[in-house]
């Protein structure tokens, strides 16, 4: 099993989807009459907050154009943890149709991916504007739809749970040192990781057969009727326009159908 190459980009897609949740946050400033004088789309980058703080500290002079512009947001992936509460049978598989090929894949493994969203502002009102545009959507989770595995068309709603909110005010220092308000929002994305996708050795189901017995007593019941359904034409594919042929047979011979030998056998006590 190990050594078979596969890469569905699930973690990468989860990181990108998480970032897109916050790439349309705006901050507005008004004059005394309540008119908008500025509308700033808050920049968002994948980076730890320490990099932005280092940039502020290394360029403290307020008159330099290279100084970092606030407000700004950053996010980073902080952890990957297995989630036993969402565990399913690891040997269970399901099949999907990819064109004319039948694919088989094991049930996905649940993992929680931790994220930190950092909000850096100079003014407290800017920070509050940003926070209030985020918090109402998390009660405490928000679902984002991700195409986890393209080859089998596996799309799932991944809950993003808001776990914690902290903030700090870096106001210590002289008048030449910039102030930085930092809000940190911690999230957990409950995603799933899929293993390799294999071609199934099973073909498409082209015949369904059901035997109906006289009672529910499995020891003495005798079959009474057989109901069979096949596609019309028999070689139809799932995307074709086809119908069904239905056949009903009645029996009184006390035989049972053997799924392995594909024949009717005389009834024996079970």
**Domains of the chain, each with CATH number or no CATH:** 10-199 (3.30.2000.40), 208-266 (no CATH)
pLDDT tens track for 117-172: 999 888 889 999 999 999 999 988 999 999 998 877 788 999 999 999 998 876 65
pLDDT confidence of residue 169 = 78
Q: Work out the end-to-end distance of the chain between its first and last CA atoms, rounded to an integer number of angstroms.
A: 39
Radius of gyration of the chain (CA): 30
pLDDT confidence of residue 162 = 96
Residue 177 has pLDDT above 60, yes or no: no
Confidence of residue 195 (pLDDT cuts 50, 70, 90): confident
Residue 12 has pLDDT above 80, yes or no: yes
- Contact present, 193 and 14 (Cβ < 8 Å): no
Name the β-bridge partners of 144.
158
Name the β-bridge partners of 118.
74, 184
pLDDT tens track for 227-236: 888 888 877 7
Token look-up 């569905």 returns 8
- Contact present, 130 and 73 (Cβ < 8 Å): yes
Element of type H or E holding 221: none
Residue 176 has pLDDT above 70, yes or no: no
pLDDT tens track for 67-99: 457 888 999 999 999 999 988 766 666 666 665
């Amino acid at each position: 099993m190990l050594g078979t190459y596969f890469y569905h980009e699930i973690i990468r897609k989860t990181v990108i989807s998480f970032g897109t949740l916050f790439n349309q946050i705006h901050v507005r400033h008004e004059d005394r009459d309540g008119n908008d004088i500025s509308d700033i789309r808050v920049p968002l980058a994948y980076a730890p907050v320490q990099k932005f703080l280092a940039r502020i500290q290394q360029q403290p002079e307020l008159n330099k154009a290279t100084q970092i512009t606030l407000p700004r947001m950053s996010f980073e992936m902080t952890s990957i943890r297995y989630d036993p509460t969402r565990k399913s049978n690891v040997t269970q598989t399901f099949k999907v149709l990819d064109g004319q090929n039948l694919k088989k894949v094991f049930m996905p493994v649940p993992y929680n991916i931790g994220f930190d969203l950092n909000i850096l502002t100079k003014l407290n009102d800017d920070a509050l504007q940003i926070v209030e545009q985020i918090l109402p959507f998390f009660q405490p989770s928000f679902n984002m739809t991700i195409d986890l595995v393209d080859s089998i068309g596996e799309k799932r709603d991944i809950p993003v749970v808001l776990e914690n909110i902290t903030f700090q005010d870096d106001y210590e220092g002289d008048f030449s040192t910039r102030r930085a308000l930092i809000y940190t929002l911690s999230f957990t994305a409950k995603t799933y990781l899929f293993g390799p996708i294999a071609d199934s050795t099973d073909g498409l189901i082209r015949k369904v057969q059901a035997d109906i017995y006289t009672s529910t007593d499995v020891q003495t019941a005798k079959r009474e009727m057989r109901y069979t359904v096949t596609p019309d034409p028999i070689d139809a594919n799932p995307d074709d326009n086809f119908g069904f042929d239905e056949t009903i047979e009645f029996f009184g011979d006390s035989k049972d159908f053997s799924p392995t030998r594909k024949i009717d056998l005389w009834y024996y006590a079970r």
